Every structure is written in structure tokens, then in C-alpha cells.
Structure 1
Amino acid sequence: MSVTFESLGVPAALVKVLAADGKTEPFRIQAQTLADTLAGDDVIGSGKTGSGKTLAFAIPLVAGLAEIGVTRKPGVPTGLILAPTRELATQIAAVVTPLAGAVGLTVTTVFGGVSQQRQEQAFRRGVDIVVACPGRLEDLMRQGVVRLDNVEITVLDEADHMADLGFLPGVTRILAATPADGQRMLFTATLDNGVDKVAKRFLDRPHLHKTEDTAPPVEMTHHVFEVAPSDKNDLVRELASGQGRRILFTRTKHQAKKLAQKLTEAGIPSVDLHGNLSQAQRDRNLKAFSEDVRVLVATDVAARGVHVDGVELVVHVDPPAEHKAYLHRSGRTARAGSAGDVVTVCLPDQRRDVAGLLRKAAIKVTPARVDARSTQVDELVGDRAAFVAPQPKAAPRPATRQNAGSRSGGRSGGGQSGRRRPASSGGRGRSGAGRGQSSSRRRTGDAAR
């Protein structure tokens, strides 16, 4: 008999939402953790990227708040999810929102890089669940816009990435501001770099669920393409030319922007994602990538924060600096059981560094010497997408007396042609469960602390 969300005790209203999205059977980490989290227990969930951790905490968060019957009040949310990046916070909110809506709960996001006015307005109206990055949330706490003393359930997602970014001191202050008797869930790839100390301090006798080690899933195929410096640009363009979605990772923001422009000019519509973009630009580019643009060129800002279905290829245009970044970049493909390929483009003087990187990441792959016309590349890319003529650039405005001495806003173009092929044809209860007696561990939604 197969395990279903319903058999695990997920409330019927949430089961209906999941089924409408084609989700009827839980992934491994969901099946392992839901019995404990739905009972109100603290949990540490450890699993590879793309294993389904978001739903593993979203379901019990929403179900728990609905069961408690929380009362919405201005500035005092009852559910909190902490995430390391804006992109991840946005995508977590997109998963949580339909579940929350099914039981009458509201969700908002809190992160920097945007005006805080909308966030203040959401708190003044009253919101149940906050998905936040630590920096902006602490700012709003200091300003008195939000208090966390009524939070019933707290989730810390991608805890190891927060540690890598130096966010744990802020995370610690935020967790200390939430009630000690609330439920807490921590999801992470690893428990090193201080994450274990956070877990020990803030989680009460947590159940540890580790689905497997953090090595890449078997559905992911790795390739190392060694290429001469003079052939690298043509190879990268060819790898970008397939019909499916793909993400190309570069080391710097400037490289990401420049490569996206060159690919677009070569008839391969592309968008970029990096730290120099405003939040509106990030949202617009991610939306385009999830809908009609096939290529996203990104820095490591997207290594954990992008969850788009159907990414069939990840290309390390520039090999990352360390193996964790390699694993998380690569984890944008082969998600939730789907297959995917990962290519590392390696110049001759990068062989030793790439070999060390893969050894630390527990990846075994034999490098292949290629160029853009090699059989290995042709077979990997498959059917090429049709050429898309780039939008013509606006002509510079004629000089007037007012702007004759100013710099022209136009920019010289110059498309970059490349070898192109035509597309081929072809209802649970808590009595006696969880933390001893639930009445002593959990407060009703409208009780003041």
C-alpha cells in the first residue's frame, strides 16, 4: 500500500490543494518527517537539494496553525520561516500561500533590496505567516513594526547556507525572540559550521531525519568538458542552444550580464540573475525564465534560491570556488526525481582545481576534450531551439540644444553569430502526541504571552 499525504494525517483541505497540483504521494523527506511535525514535535530534516524540503515544512506549519486556531493581530505573526535569500523566500511563499489560503491564513514576505513600506502595510493589516530573510526582519523588529513573541511555529530553511553567509548571529537573535515553547523545524543539507549549535540551543529533543548523504542524486549525470580558451565561447553558446531550460553559472555579476546579452544577440533569448539587479528585475527575469525564456545566466545568488521545474541542464561556465557551491549549483537540475545533466567547462589551467573540486564533492567523472562541434556536445544538447531574432535596439535620440553636450544614451550593438542548427521535428489531533502534553507546550492562538 502506497503512502499518501492523506494516510500521513495531512488535513483534507491541504490534501485537496496538493492533489490539484498533481501531488498525491510524498517524497522521502516528507514521508519521514510529517508524522513528527504534524504531531507538533521539533524536527531536523537533512537532505539533498531538490528533495522536497519546502513541502515537508510548509504542510505542518499551515496545518499546525489551523489546528491551533490562531487569531490574526497587527504586527504579531504566528508562523515564521527564515530563508537565506530573497529568491528562496519568494519561492517558499509561492508554495505556502495556496496551502495557507485553503485554511484562511495569510502569508507575506520580508527581505531587503525593496522598499519596506509594503511590508509595514502587511503587518499593520495583520498577517499569519512571514517568510523572511534575517537582515530585514531584524530591521523591522528594531523599528517596532513586528514582534515575534506570539510565534507558534518557526522554520529555519537552508540553515547551512545561512551559516555560510554569516547569518547565524542574526538567526540566533531572531529565534531568541520567539517563544521557547513553540514548535521549531530546521531543514539543512549539513549540520556543520555552527548549525548544530543553533539546533542544540533552540530545538527541544528534535527528531533527526536524514534522507541520505548530501551527494548528488543518481538521476544527475556529470560531465567535464575541457576546452581551449579560444573555443570556450562557442562551446558555451552551443550548450545554451537546446530546447529545454538550462542555467549557466558564472563567477561574477558582470560576466552573467554580459553572457546573457551575447546569447540573446546570438538568437538564444536569455535573462540574467545576480546581486546588481533590483528585486523587480529579479522577479521579472525569474518569471520570464519560468515561462518563455529557456536560458538563465546567474551567479551563485541562484545556486539555492531558484526552484524552476524542468531545468534539464546546468553549466558551470566558470567552475565554482568550492565543492558546496558546486553541489548547490548542480542541484538546480534533477529535482524531485527528474533527470538532468551538469557540465563543468574546464580550461587547461583549471584541470587541477576542477579535479580537487570534484573529489571533495564525491563526483567521479572522466574529463573529455571537446569543442563546440564535438559529438559529445551534440548528443548532450539534442535538438536545437529555433533562432530568435533579438529585439532591435532603440536608435539614439537626436541631439538638441538641451542635450547636445550630454552623453548619448545609445549603445553600439553588434550581434554575435554562432553555429545554429534548425530545430528537429521530432484531521489530526495532538492529544497524547508530540511534546508530552500539548496543552503545556502549545498556546491557543489568541493567548497573550
Structure 2
Amino acid sequence: MLFTDLGLSEPILRAISEEGYTSPTPIQEKSIPAVLKGGDLLAAAQTGTGKTAGFTLPILQRLSSTAKTGGKRQLRVLILTPTRELAAQVQESVVTYGKYTGLKSTVIFGGVGANPQIKAIAAGLDILVATPGRLLDLMSQNCVSLANIEILVLDEADRMLDMGFLRDIKKILAVLPKQRQNLLFSATFSTEIKALADGLLNSPALIEVARSNSTNDAIAQLIHPVDRNQKHPLLAHLIKSNQWQQVLVFTRTKHGANKLVTQLEKDSITAMAIHGNKSQSARTKALAEFKDGKITVLVATDIAARGIDIDQLPHVVNYDLPNVSEDYVHRIGRTGRAGSNGVAVSLVCVDEHQMLRDIEKLIKQKLPQEIIAGFEPDPNAVAQPIQLRSQQHQQSRKPRPGNAGGGKSGGSGGARPAAKRSSPPKRSFNR
């Protein structure tokens, strides 16, 4: 199937073509016609399969075909995302594929000054991309009205629930018009997502293009057993001996991310960290330099995982296994995107053996293991307890200023739109 078969208008098709795309991904092929019909939709697909375009393209089509004439523009579409990185990515897609439609959009999130965002909203918009905290902040100041919303999108809804945004979402839902189209996109169909869908969606179309919590077959997964105090030397060894040029590394904590960057720099490996405690400018700089190939390693925590969208990223390393098994799927989904191949390596110490078993149970496969010579783990090592994310998770569910992804003081950081691809055009795309 081609994009020309999906009922999209010439201006949108022209924008898609200019980006070098001709064929939709499976989630796009199924979701675009469903959204165009005007009904509610519950859609799930693996990370990196193109969910963003699965809703932005038909939304642009629907708005451009029913554009209001005369008077100030009214806000008709609200897209909610859990993190600044993801909000910026969605806004980039709206701008890129809507550039010939005449529609106007903006993105709002915490961690930056609100005045430019307020001015953009006041000038008149068709589409608003927002994180929940900043949206509620501006709503409380009467800077944004949701009275004319026709389409609501909850993007990465599973992550929003995991980050404790349910209460914020309910506050936003309470002021939206009763008659509207609701689109809920998620990487997984968890019990919590199904419960949210039951209360939000009206006889929705259901789309699931891959088994829940399955991993992309284009990603080669490998476990390296190692002692906990040898993880950093092993990572440096892998990067240097394999001549890896672009590596996304996940740590369990912000402190761990900062510490690892310092250690890698001492090994003459360029690295920067991206996490919730970093300033907006620092996060933007780190992500931009990583995309441009100016640094070899970007160290991230799970808070930023869903918003890092880099074409043909070759390597992802789990320096620490995630405490939440589903996060493993989201992490490694940063590679193997848009039909390209990728490698996901996990450095696993004795403390994480149960986490590894939980992950393998979730993804329904036994992951291959390889011990690297010189880094053999001590067979007599005793596991030590790991501070689970549950404590942080419970804290994140408490409403407070600066909650991740919004609020006056920032929370989850943002990123500038992804750099233009220099690779040859592909047949399908992942955004």
C-alpha cells in the first residue's frame, strides 16, 4: 500500500513525498483510515513503528478539509504527551507534514518560559501539543481555552499513567467538550490502559499491530554478564574495541547517569547526560550534539526514553536493567527503527538476575548471553538490594509543581526537533 491509497490530500502527500516516504508502516496503514472516519480509536504498536504519523497525518487531513473561514482561529485539536522530548517530536511531525495545509500549531511544556507559549496561543491555533503540567498551568491562568476541541490525542498513554499523570488527565478531560473524537495511542495494552480506554473512548476501533510487549525482530539483543564494579570498564571496552560511534546508554538513576559520563570522559569517550534534573538548554544541547555525531555516548534515564527519536541509531546499551520490565521494550526500541537494524546490549550483574528473568518472561524469549574475556563475573558474588523505582514512582503520583513533563518549574525536559536525515529516502517511516 502507498500513502496515495489512504485518502490524504495533495498538500499532505506532497509534504510526505518531500521527506522521501511512499509507503505507510502497518500502524499507519490501519490507523489513518480509522481516524479519518471520525470515530474513537485505541491503538498499540511497538516503539518506533510510526504511531506519531499514524495520528498526525489523518488529523491534518480532517482539519484542512473542514477549515474554518473568517475570524480568529479556534483551537480544535489537543495532543497530550508525557515528556518534553516527545512533545517536541510530535510538534515537528505536525509542522513537517502540515506545512502546505495552512494550519497553525505550537507546543507547550515546562522548563522554559511560558510567555512565548502564551503569545503563540493568543495568536490563534488549530493544534496544540502539550504536556499535562504546563497545560494545566496555563489553563489556571486563563491563557488557553479547550472549549472548541474536536479531537483529543493521548500519545504514549501508558507512559503517562506510569508517570502519574492520571489525575492531571482527568482534570483536562473535565473541561473538554463532550462531543469529540478521542485517540489513545500506546506502546502496550496494559490493564491500566484498558481501564482508561473504557472510561474515555466510545465504541473505539481497536488496532494492535504487534503482540503486546514484544520486541522488534530487527534488534539483535545480547546480555553480557559482568560484576557490578566492572560495568563501566566493560562499556568503555565495548565502545573502543568495536569502534562504536553512536551509543545510547540507559542508567537507573540521574546520579548514575552523571557519574557514568564523568567516567567515560576520563576514558577519552565523549559523553553527555540527559535526564529530568538537567536544564532545558543542557538537554537540548546534549540531544542535538548526539544526533549530529559530535559526542559518542548519550546517557539517559527512562524519563527521556520515549522522546529520543534518532533515525538509524545503531546501538542501545542497558548499563542498568530497568526496574519496570516494560521499560526494557521501550529502551531498546530506540534502535531498529524504520526498517533499519540495531543492537541492544545489556550489562547484567548478579543484583539484576531477577530483573532479567522478569524481562524474559515479559517478552517471551530467552536472551542470548556472552561473557567478555577479561570481564568474567565472580561466580561467588552475592546479590545486593537495588533501590527500586517504586519509591520514586509513588512520589511522581503526588501532585506537585514541576511534575515531569510540565508545571512552572519544569519536570521532564524538552528537546529541539530532530535533525533532518542525511540517509537515503526509505519506503516507510517511523514517526
> Is the shorter-chain TM-score for this pair beyond 0.5, marking a shared fold?
yes
Match of 1:66 in 2: 64
Letter in 1 for 2:60: V
Deviations 1:135-180 (A, max 9, x none): 1101111111001011122211111111111112211221332222
Match of 1:326 in 2: 328
Match of 2:278 in 1: 277
- Pairs within 5 Å for 1:33-432: 33-70=31-68, 76-214=74-212, 215-241=214-240, 242-292=243-293, 293-371=295-373
Shift in CA distance, 159/72, structure 1 to aligned 2, threshold 3 Å = farther
User: C-alpha displacement at 1:362, in angstroms?
Assistant: 2.2
User: C-alpha displacement at 1:265, in angstroms?
Assistant: 3.7
Gaps of 5+ in 2: 377-431
Deviates more, 1:191-200 or 1:217-226: 191-200
Which of the pair has the greater relative contact order for Cα pairs under 8 Å at 6+ separation?
2
Letter in 2 for 1:302: A
Provide the C-alpha distance between the structure 1 equivalents of 2:74 and 2:193, rounded to a whole number of angstroms: 27
Letter in 2 for 1:268: I
Deviations 1:102-155 (A, max 9, x none): 101122111112221111111121122111011110111111100101112221
Shift in CA distance, 37/72, structure 1 to aligned 2, threshold 3 Å = farther
Shift in CA distance, 371/356, structure 1 to aligned 2, threshold 3 Å = farther
- The structure whose Rg is larger is 1
Normalised TM-score (structure 1): 0.78
Equivalenced residues, count: 372
User: C-alpha displacement at 1:228, in angstroms?
Assistant: 3.0
Deviations 1:357-408 (A, max 9, x none): 322332312322224689xxxxxxxxxxxxxxxxxxxxxxxxxxxxxxxxxx
Letter in 1 for 2:286: N
Q: Is the 8 A contact 2:33 2:58 kept in 1?
A: no
Q: Is the 8 A contact 2:261 2:299 kept in 1?
A: yes
Shift in CA distance, 230/194, structure 1 to aligned 2, threshold 3 Å = closer
Q: Is the 8 A contact 2:38 2:181 kept in 1?
A: yes
User: C-alpha displacement at 1:193, in angstroms?
Assistant: 4.4
Percent identity of paired positions between Structure 1 and Structure 2:
36
Query: SS of the counterpart of 1:304?
Result: helix
Letter in 2 for 1:103: T
Query: SS of the counterpart of 2:211?
Result: coil
Deviates more, 1:5-14 or 1:223-232: 223-232
Letter in 1 for 2:193: V
Q: Is the 8 A contact 1:75 1:124 kept in 2?
A: no
Q: Is the 8 A contact 1:180 1:202 kept in 2?
A: no
User: C-alpha displacement at 1:34, in angstroms?
Assistant: 1.3
Deviations 1:273-309 (A, max 9, x none): 0111112221121111111233211111222111111
Deviates more, 1:264-273 or 1:76-85: 264-273
Query: SS of the counterpart of 1:240?
Result: helix
Shift in CA distance, 82/372, structure 1 to aligned 2, threshold 3 Å = farther
Normalised TM-score (structure 2): 0.82
Provide the C-alpha distance between the structure 1 equivalents of 2:44 and 2:193, rounded to a whole number of angstroms: 12
Query: SS of the counterpart of 1:120?
Result: helix
Provide the C-alpha distance between the structure 1 equivalents of 2:70 and 2:198, rounded to a whole number of angstroms: 31
Deviations 1:324-371 (A, max 9, x none): 111111111111222111111012343343223322332312322224
Query: SS of the counterpart of 1:329?
Result: helix
Gaps of 5+ in 1: 375-449
Provide the C-alpha distance between the structure 2 equivalents of 1:357 and 1:149, rounded to a whole number of angstroms: 43
Letter in 2 for 1:319: L
Q: Is the 8 A contact 2:232 2:260 kept in 1?
A: no
Shift in CA distance, 321/327, structure 1 to aligned 2, threshold 3 Å = same
Letter in 2 for 1:222: Q
User: C-alpha displacement at 1:230, in angstroms?
Assistant: 4.8
Q: Is the 8 A contact 1:238 1:372 kept in 2?
A: no
Query: SS of the counterpart of 1:54?
Result: helix
The CA RMSD measured in Å over matched residues stands at 2.0
